[in-house]
Amino acid sequence: MKERIIMIGANGQIGSELATALRSRFGAENVITSDIREPHALKEDEIFEIINVLDKSALKSLFEKYKPTQVYLLAAMLSATGEKYPQKAWDLNINGLLHVLDLALELGIKKIFWPSSIAVFGPHSPKQYTDQYCVMDPVSIYGVSKLAGERLCEYYHHKYDLDIRSIRYPGIISWKTAPGGGTTDYAIDIFIEALKHGQYACFLSANTALPMLYMEDAVRGTIELMDTPSEQISIRSSYNLAGLSFTPAEIAEEIKKILPNFEMSYVDYDPRQAIADSWPASIDDSFARKDWSWEPKFDLASITEDMIANLKTNV
Ligand code: SER
Which of the four pLDDT bands, split at 50, 70 and 90, describes residue 197?
very high
Residue 115 Cα: closest atom of ligand 1: 6
154-166 pLDDT per residue, tens: 999 999 999 999 9
Mean pLDDT of the chain: 97
Atom of ligand 1 nearest to the CA of 169: 6
CATH of domain 5-171+215-240: 3.40.50.720
Kindly state if the Cβ of 169 falls inside 6 Å of ligand 1. Answer: yes
Distance from the CA of 125 to the center of ligand 1, in angstroms?
A: 17
Give the mean pLDDT of 100-119. 98
Regarding the beta carbon of 279 and ligand 1, being less than 6 Å apart is answered no
- Read off the pLDDT band of 40 (50, 70, 90): confident
Q: Is 142 a catalytic residue?
A: yes
**Mean pLDDT (whole number) for 43-62:** 97
- Whether ligand 1 lies within 6 angstroms of the CB of 79 is answered as yes
**pLDDT band with cut points at 50, 70 and 90 for residue 1:** confident
Q: Please give the torsion angle defined by the CA atoms of residues 203, 205, 210 and 214, in that order, rounded to the nearest 10 degrees.
A: 50
Nearest residue (by CA) to ligand 1, atom 6, is: 117
Would you call 213 helix, strand, or coil by DSSP? Answer: strand
Domain boundaries, the chain: 5-171+215-240, 172-212+243-311
Please indicate whether residue 292, judged by its CB atom, sits closer than 6 Å to ligand 1: no
Of the candidates 72, 142, 186, 214, the residue annotated as catalytic is 142
- Alpha helices, DSSP H only, in the chain? 13-26, 56-66, 79-84, 86-90, 96-107, 141-160, 186-197, 215-227, 248-258, 272-277, 286-292, 300-312
The answer to whether the CB of 233 falls within 8 A of the CB of 291 is: yes
Tell me, in angstroms, the distance from the centre of ligand 1 to residue 245's CA. 14
Architecture of domain 172-212+243-311 in this structure: Alpha-Beta Complex (3.90)
Distance (Å, rounded) from C-alpha 211 to C-alpha 222? 17
pTM of the model: 0.96
What pLDDT, in 10s, does the model give residues 127-181?
Answer: 999 999 999 999 999 999 999 999 999 999 999 999 999 999 999 999 999 888 9
Q: Is the CB of 171 under 6 A from ligand 1?
A: yes
With CA atoms as reference, report the closest residue to 252 among 211, 314, 207, 283. 207
Q: Is the CB of 235 under 6 A from ligand 1?
A: no
Mutate-to-test residue for ligand 1 from 78, 167, 210, highest number of ligand atoms within 8 A of CB: 78
pLDDT of residue 178: 86
Evaluate the CA torsion angle 186, 189, 190, 193 in order and state its sign: negative
Structural contact between residues 44 and 248, judged by C-beta atoms closer than 8 angstroms:
no
More confident of the two residues 268 and 40: 268
Same CATH fold assignment for domains 5-171+215-240 and 172-212+243-311:
no
Rounded to a whole number, what is the distance in angstroms from the first to the last CA of the chain? Answer: 43
Residue 41 pLDDT level (bands cut at 50, 70, 90): confident
99: closest CA among 37, 15, 34? Answer: 34
* pLDDT computed for residue 314 by the predictor: 76
Q: Give me the pLDDT at residue 35, please.
A: 98
CA 245 to chain centre: 16
Q: Which ligand 1 atom is nearest residue 79's CA?
A: 7
The C-alpha angle 76, 159, 289, rounded to 5 degrees, equals 60
